[in-house]
Structures are given as structure tokens and as C-alpha cells.
Amino acid sequence: MMRIFLLLCLAMTAHASVLQAETIHILVWDEQQDRQAEAYENFIGNEIASRLDASSDDFELRSVNLNDPEQGLTAENLDWADVMIWWGHVRQWEVSPDTVQRKIMKRLKSGKLNMIFLHSAHFSTPFMEAMNERTMFDARRKYTPAEGGKPIEFEFVRPPGRMVPTRDSIVTPAYLALKQGKNLAKVRVDLPNCCFPAYRPDGAPSTLTVMKPDHPIAEGLPKAMAMRSTEMYDEPFHVPEPDEVVFEETWESGERFRSGMTWKIAKGTVFYFRPGHETFPVYKQPEVMQILANACRWLGEK
């Protein structure tokens, strides 16, 4: 009898250890701007954290913001997190590229942290740095020196700032490859602008269509969903070619956008999800929260 009791205790301990190992730690980061009060009683980040926490027993949540110590990006927070959700809009520049490289990118590239970027976080420093990293990787994979030839010189040119491209602009990232004699010698790469030529914050509804129904992020979702009130973004979105386009969004006035995309960044993964705006209650919509929960589980298990 004692032996059976000890075996049961060991089995329960092992089961508890497995459950603990499967817990996904989610860090929600929010710049917390005043206009969020038009649609959210306690800021977007806190709203998302609260709803995700209630959606699953295997999630543990922390909600941090730009005004916290070290802008919420303490080593303790980042080392704890498996997945980080980022909301930013009008205070994007307050997080510096140096901070992102030291604190976020090294964890992302090593696979210790995966990222979800929401809506206007396309202009956030960590998203832009991640897209630059992917573009540089793609360029070096696309352009390789001839066997026995000299190394290719790469020039990576950053956009001059967070500015909206005109519709007739070249779409970045863009490449200019130059030969010397018969061999490729230099490649200029215009890094992605991470923006798009048109947007409209009128709250018009959109239709979000699942492009990859077998993807874990799309699990349990209908083929098409109405986003009842959201801001419009229109293609082309100046980002490197994604690994997967999970969702596409359209508006009755004709615009379209690749509204759910993933990229590998070295050993880490980034998911960008477009629907949103601080003055529309997008993150109170059940389908949207289902998408974020699915993404957190998929990225956390990776």
C-alpha cells in the first residue's frame, strides 16, 4: 500500500511539473495614451491582458507600459515572458533602437521571446528593427558571391523617419544590385519603411478573411469575420515578404490589406495583426481575442 501511495505521489508531482512547464507567460506592453479612454476603461494593454487571462488556464499575464521603470522592459519581465504583445501608436519613438537591440532583439533572435505586434505597432521600434533584421537576412540569402569570388559589399539604407510613403513610391525593401565585370560586387538595400500609402480612421467596418484555415492562429474561427469598427490601412505594406499570410482584410470601398502575417527572425517568430485603433473597441470583440489567444498559444509553444 505504501508503495502504491508513493507511486501516486510521484505521478501527481510529474503531472504538476508538466502542467507548470506548459504555462505560457505573456507580457502585454502598452504605451498608454489618453485617447484610449474613448473605448477602453483601463487602457488597451490592461484590457487585452484581462481578457486573455480569463480565456485560458495555461496563460499567465503581466501588463506593463511605457511609464513603468525601464519603460516596462526590465530584464526580469523579458526573461519571464515567452510571448510579448506590443501596442504602440503616438509614442513610438520613445523606445530607442539601442534599447530594442539590447533588450528585445537578442531574445527574439535566440528564440527566447516571440512577438505579437498590433495595428499601429507597425511603426514601433521593435517591429521596425525586426523587419530590418529579416530584410538583411533575405538580402544576404538572395545575393551570394560567385564561387571563389570576392565578398559582396552590402549597403543597408534606413528610411529617413516614420513617414507615410506615396502610392507611386518604390515598395521597400528594395534592392539595387551592381556588377563589376561579370561578378556581383555591391548591393544597396533600402530597408522597409514599415508603412503604407493610405489609412482612414473613420471606424468603417471591414471583413477579415482566413487565408490559411489550417494554421493554429486560425483555429476555431469562421472563414470570414466582420470587424465591426476599425481603422482602414491600404496596401502596399512596406515589409519583407512574409512567411505566411494568415488573414486578409477588405473594405466595401475597395481597400485590402494583409492583416495577419508571420516572419521568422533568426530562431524567433513575429506575428503582425492589423485590426485595431485606440478609439474603437476592437479588442473587446470575441473573434479578435480568439485570434490573439491562438497566436499566444502557438508562439508560446514554439
The average pLDDT across 29-39 equals 97
How many domains are contained in the chain?
A: 2
| Residue 155: pLDDT band with limits 50, 70, 90 | very high
Which domain CATH number covers 110?
3.40.50.880
151 shares a domain with 270: no
Q: What is the pLDDT of residues 172-209, one digit of tens each?
A: 999 999 999 989 999 999 999 999 999 999 999 999 99
Instruction: Write out pLDDT tens, residues 215-236.
Output: 999 999 999 999 999 999 999 9
Residue 14 in domain: no
pLDDT in the model for residue 147: 82
Q: How far apart are the first and last CA of the chain?
A: 41
Q: What is the pLDDT of residue 12?
A: 52
Query: In this model, does residue 5 exceed pLDDT 70?
Result: no
The chain-wide mean pLDDT, for the chain, equals 93
Domain assignment present for 10: no
Q: CA 19 to CA 21: how far, in whole Å? A: 5
pLDDT in tens, 74-130: 999 999 999 999 999 999 999 999 999 999 999 999 999 999 999 999 999 999 999
120 with 47, same domain: the answer is yes
Question: Do residues 123 and 251 both lie within one domain?
Answer: yes
Q: What is the pLDDT, as a whole number, of residue 134? A: 98
Q: Same domain, yes or no, for 102 and 223? A: yes
Percent of residues, the chain, with pLDDT higher than 90: 90
Are 157 and 112 in a shared domain? no
d(CA 302, CA 299): 5
Domain hosting residue 172, numbered range:
144-190
Residues 248 and 258: beta-carbon distance below 8 Å:
yes
Q: Is the pLDDT of residue 153 over 50?
A: yes
User: 179 and 250, same structural domain?
Assistant: no
Domain match, 69 and 215 both = yes
pLDDT band for position 302 (50/70/90)? confident
Judgement on whether residues 182 and 245 belong to the same structural domain of the protein: no
Same domain for 37 and 149 = no
Same domain? For 243 and 94 the reply is: yes
Compute the distance between CA of residue 65 and CA of residue 78 in angstroms, rounded to an integer.
Answer: 13
Tell the residue number behind the cell numbers 529617413, with chain if given: 160
Task: Give the three-class secondary structure for 110.
Answer: coil
Residue 12 located in a structural domain: no
Tell me the per-residue pLDDT of 269-301, one tens digit each, with 9 for 90 and over: 999 999 999 999 999 999 999 999 999 999 999
Claim to verify: residue 106 and residue 211 sit in the same structural domain: yes
Considering the domain architecture, whether residues 266 and 205 belong to the same structural domain is answered as yes
Which residues contact residue 51 at a Cβ distance below 8 angstroms, ignoring those fewer than 6 apart? Answer: 283, 284, 289
